[in-house]
Chain A
Amino acid sequence: MQIYLPIADLPVNVFLVLAMGLAVGYISGMFGIGGGFLMTPLLIFIGIPPAVAVATVSSHIAASSFTGAISYWRRRALDIALAMMLLSAGIIGTATGVWLFTELRALDQLDLMIGLSYVTLLTIVGVMMIYESLRAEMRTRHGQPATLRRPGSHTWLHGLPFKLRFKRSKIYVSAIPVWAIGFTIGFVGAIMGIGGGFLLVPMLIYFLRVPTATVIGTSMVLTLVTMASATVMHAATNHLVDAVLALILMVGGVIGAQFGARMGQKMRGERLRLLLGLLVFAVGCRFAFELVVRPDDLYSLRYVRPE
């Protein structure tokens, strides 16, 4: 069944888009991520203009992260104070990212920048996650408890000033790394059209030692707020959000996310991180392949403005 998208200005198959929403929703529910890094490339692949894809995906991520945030809220598994601290820097990061986005677009280097950042971030994060989860797996095999929380092991990050106590997460850290992480996520999210959950979760675990109990819920609150405001900003400035496309994606996404979350709860943390690491790494390689292999067509078109 074909349906015409009013903003993207083209017809799409409803079931195809719904299936994409379900599949990405399943993955996002399973790993507790937004799934933007999968959804945006998929939409571009089926012919949606990249700008519309980036803008519309933000509303889809807002919907699925809200579902997630509610269920974590019920289980008291999110840290509002930490989320607010991250957000305050995240907004500045987003504004910087949007500014660079516009500049690069004018120079025709936006695609390259997006490609390079996907390759760099996804391959590095992917390899790190695979390595870490394999090590944890080995430790479990050898009978040692696989714990990420080692209370005694303080890094240099814990020596920085402006210390704050986050009660829910039971951590006492400097505001500097919190702001740095918030800024990075906001910046990267604006450039790459992603929520950044897959980056934020490992960062919070490895750098701030946020316990696994609150990390996903907290990351979802951050994703929810940045993506909801990105939706409003994209709609108000560029008129690029396609509500019809967003609606189909959301319906598929939230249903998929519920089943994914159930699957995720059955799996062990290390196994889950290994799978996510492999997925992230694979997407990174896909982008690397695109940059290195000679394109089928050396020429491409970009719409500048109406007359």
Chain B
Amino acid sequence: MMRRLMLIATFIVAAAAGPASAERLVVSLSNHRVAVTSSFVGEELVLFGTVEPDPATAPLHPPYNLVVTVSGPRQTMRTRRKQRMAGIWVNVDSREFVGVPTYLAVLSNRPVTEIANEDTLRRLQIGLDNFLLPQRIGIDLADTVRDDPFRSAFVRLENQQGLYRESGTAVTFLTPTVFRAAIPMPAAVSTGNYAIDVQLFAGGLLVARTNSALEVIKTGFEQYVADAARDYGLFYGLATAVMALLIGWFASLVFARE
């Protein structure tokens, strides 16, 4: 179901971009691989790019607007709502968000609502309000209206953790055709593959689009520990228990001598 929705979305986008575009985007990411080490406290990646004429002799039509959407590996989350029952606060209602990104950043050179009209933004899924966040409703999956309380609570809570963000100032045009986008990667980012979708607008219409990707990986000791915990759970657990016993034993030796 999810895949079908995505397919439809891609199809619509492909149709919208059209074949007769006169611009082409060339982008380069400062780093395609974010390494999570023991001292990782977050990082900022930079995406550089230019708007090139296509074919080379075609005229360009600035001013341009740029939207960069970065989405992390997918996961299923549940949003729960508390209500007072018999004097105490209890979770009474919940919604499951299926296959939503662990990280979602919508970065642009001005607020997205000033870049294109509502319909276009909605169709291209630009902005936190328009990004497809499917909820499980009965046996079906669908995104609801944007002011659905569970949807806005979900986005707000993810935003508080720095994982969902929308910034109208993160992209800067250095010249009318050269731009730079700052992609913030907070310390809490999940490991996995991240998709970067770069969309160029002129006069409220999508004129060019390109993709890039980055990968967040654990390295060194962190990778080793995480791998061991996942692949050899039992041995990892036994090793941790033995470590606990050794430390306990060692402490009693050290302190018994005094």
Q: CB within 8 Å of B: which residues of A?
A: 2-4, 6-7, 9-11, 59-60, 62-67, 70-71, 74, 108-109, 111-112, 116, 228-229, 231-237, 239, 241, 243-244, 246-247, 250-251, 254-255, 257-258, 291-295, 297-307
| A301-B255 contact given A9-B190, A241-B236, CB 8 Å threshold | no
List 27 interface pairs A-B (beta carbons < 8 Å), by A numbering.
Answer: A4-B187, A6-B223, A6-B225, A9-B191, A63-B244, A65-B248, A67-B248, A67-B252, A74-B256, A228-B244, A229-B241, A231-B241, A232-B237, A232-B240, A243-B229, A251-B247, A258-B255, A291-B88, A294-B84, A295-B82, A298-B82, A298-B89, A298-B153, A301-B77, A301-B79, A304-B75, A306-B74
Top 5 closest A-B pairs, CB basis?
A235-B237, A66-B248, A307-B74, A254-B251, A299-B153
* Contact, CB under 8 Å: B248 / A298: no
Residue of A nearest to B238 (CB): A232
State in angstroms the CA–CA spacing of A7 and B228 once bound together.
10
B81 close to A (CB within 8 Å) = yes
Point out which of A231, A258, A291, A293 has the most chain B C-beta atoms below 10 A from its C-beta.
A231
Which of chain B's residues have a CB closer than 8 A to the CB of A303?
A: 75-78
B143 close to A (CB within 8 Å) = no
State in angstroms the CA–CA spacing of A292 and B240 once bound together.
38
Contact of A70 among B96, B99, B234, B249 (CB under 8 A): B249
Interface 9-mer from B37-45, B105-113, B175-183: B37-45
* Contact, CB under 8 Å: B81 / A250: no
Which of chain A's residues have a CB closer than 8 A to the CB of B94?
A: 108
Residue of A nearest to B96 (CB): A304
Nearest CB on B from A192, distance (A): 17
B146 close to A (CB within 8 Å) = no
Which of chain A's residues have a CB closer than 8 A to the CB of B187?
A: 4, 10-11
B14 close to A (CB within 8 Å) = no
Which of chain B's residues have a CB closer than 8 A to the CB of A65?
A: 248
Residues 149-186 of chain B, each 1 if its beta carbon lies under 8 Å from chain A, else 0: 01001101110000000000000000000000000000
* Contact, CB under 8 Å: A239 / B233: yes
* Contact, CB under 8 Å: B237 / A60: no
Which of chain A's residues have a CB closer than 8 A to the CB of B114?
A: none
Residue of A nearest to B254 (CB): A258
Which of chain A's residues have a CB closer than 8 A to the CB of B80?
A: 108, 299-302
Which of chain B's residues have a CB closer than 8 A to the CB of A234?
A: 237
* Contact, CB under 8 Å: B229 / A298: no
Nearest CB on A from B236, distance (A): 5
* Contact, CB under 8 Å: B88 / A6: no
* Contact, CB under 8 Å: A11 / B234: no
Known: A6-B218, A305-B76. 17 other contacts (CB 8 A): A4-B40, A4-B187, A10-B188, A11-B41, A63-B245, A243-B243, A250-B247, A251-B247, A255-B251, A298-B81, A299-B79, A300-B157, A301-B158, A302-B78, A306-B73, A307-B98, A307-B99
Residue of A nearest to B154 (CB): A301
B36 close to A (CB within 8 Å) = yes
State in angstroms the CA–CA spacing of A231 and B221 once bound together.
21
* Contact, CB under 8 Å: B91 / A250: no
Within residues 187 to 224 of chain B, which ones have a CB less than 8 A from any CB in chain A? Answer: 187-188, 190-191, 218, 221-223
